[in-house]
Chain A
Amino acid sequence: MISLAGRDIMHAWGKFVFTGMGLGLLIGITLSMAGIYRGMVDDAKVLLDNSSADLWVVQKDTLGPYAEPSSIYDDTWRSIRGMPGVARTANVTYLTMQVRQGERDVRTMVTGVTAGESGTPGWPPYLVAGRQITRGHYEAVADIASGFALGDRLQIRRNHYTVVGLTRRMVSSGGDPMVFIPLKDAQEAQFLKDNDAIHQQQRRTAANPAFNRPQVPGLLDAVIASQSINPYVNAVLVQIESGHRAEDVAESIRRWKRLTVYTRSQMEEILVGKLIATAAKQIFMFLVILSVVSSAIVAFIIYTLTLGKIREIAVLKLIGTKNRTIVALIMQQSIALGVIGFVVGKITATLLMAPIFPKYVLLEPLDSIIGFFAVMVICILASIIAIRAALKVDPAEAIGG
């Protein structure tokens, strides 16, 4: 038996290919949406992976340092370092802000890292060009996605930094490229006020009789001095000694230091389950809408193609064609349309759409396989209306009168 669907497609291949391409663009957008979600999750995991930390010690009862603001004293690391099971500790600050370079500015996550050596928690684990930060001030390592190049001069708040190294896939959970600078500079960028504000504050403090008592010389100077230092960081990153369980060490820090501590799995839950949850729901809704629109388009196309063949279907039924042959004709065409659409969509998503999105788009093979089967199911379901119309055709319609 010949394939009626195949013959019909070959006869009107242009119509099928162009319709399939239109559907393919929709499928491409759908796959890209899934890729954007995967990219967000991957960005979140990359952020955790690249911090080289086993534990995140943050301000008590906060979801910091990524999902909520967190401030802890910058000498907290010393007491944590001395606890059993702790191999290394490092202060870290994170601040998402615009970084200027010449005439342009780029949204980045400025990360303050402790001086040390490669492998220190918070440091970029590898570079693609240049070197790590070696000076205590005004050097930066930037993610290549920021567009900065070695030797570029960056302006962060009122200070200038020279890019000495470039790294790759170091991004915030929101996909912003990271710029690493020395911790002291980052603290200043995050907590220090501008000169006018400092001057204002000093004047107000001096005008306050509680701080400017004639009988207590030196009090005002002490208060002003305390206002000009910035003893805070966002978190302490902790590496665990081998042989110790992260949860045990975390529990010990929680108990003795009265700080909140997250393990890797808890931090992943915060990032994926809370920080990007709304965006993920948004993308899921887009996926649902796109799937419904794709279904409606396939249904409409197949229904229209079937209506155009009503007389032929009546003749086929009159001359003894089985219903299942007619069902196969319509369903195979619908599936063929889906296959063309999927191939076009996959190519479009991979080669055209993913590279132009500003954020990371991760097209997982498993998503493509699921997408393919989803498209097949959609096409089969979408052909039902057309099949019903075809099966209702009375073979008597082929006979005039």
Chain B
Amino acid sequence: MKRRLKEVVIRRLKLKDTWVICFALGLVMMNYPFISIFNKSTLPFGIPLLYLYLLIGWVFSIFIVYLFSRAAGHESESGGEP
């Protein structure tokens, strides 16, 4: 089950479409109006909300690209399976 899920994820991550969707999604999430949700002067964990949001979003997107590059490297291993 876990294996199958992994395969499905890898296959999706290899699609050019997925990259484009993530790109567009990232663009939306960093611009108005989406970003206005976090544009408040609160300090969760003592850190300004917007700053925190951008940092966490940043780490998250680096992680996603990392997954992409892992999937692209997988080419040879999962290429033969249906």
Real binding pair: no
Chain A residues with CB under 8 Å of chain B are none
Chain B residues with CB under 8 Å of chain A are none
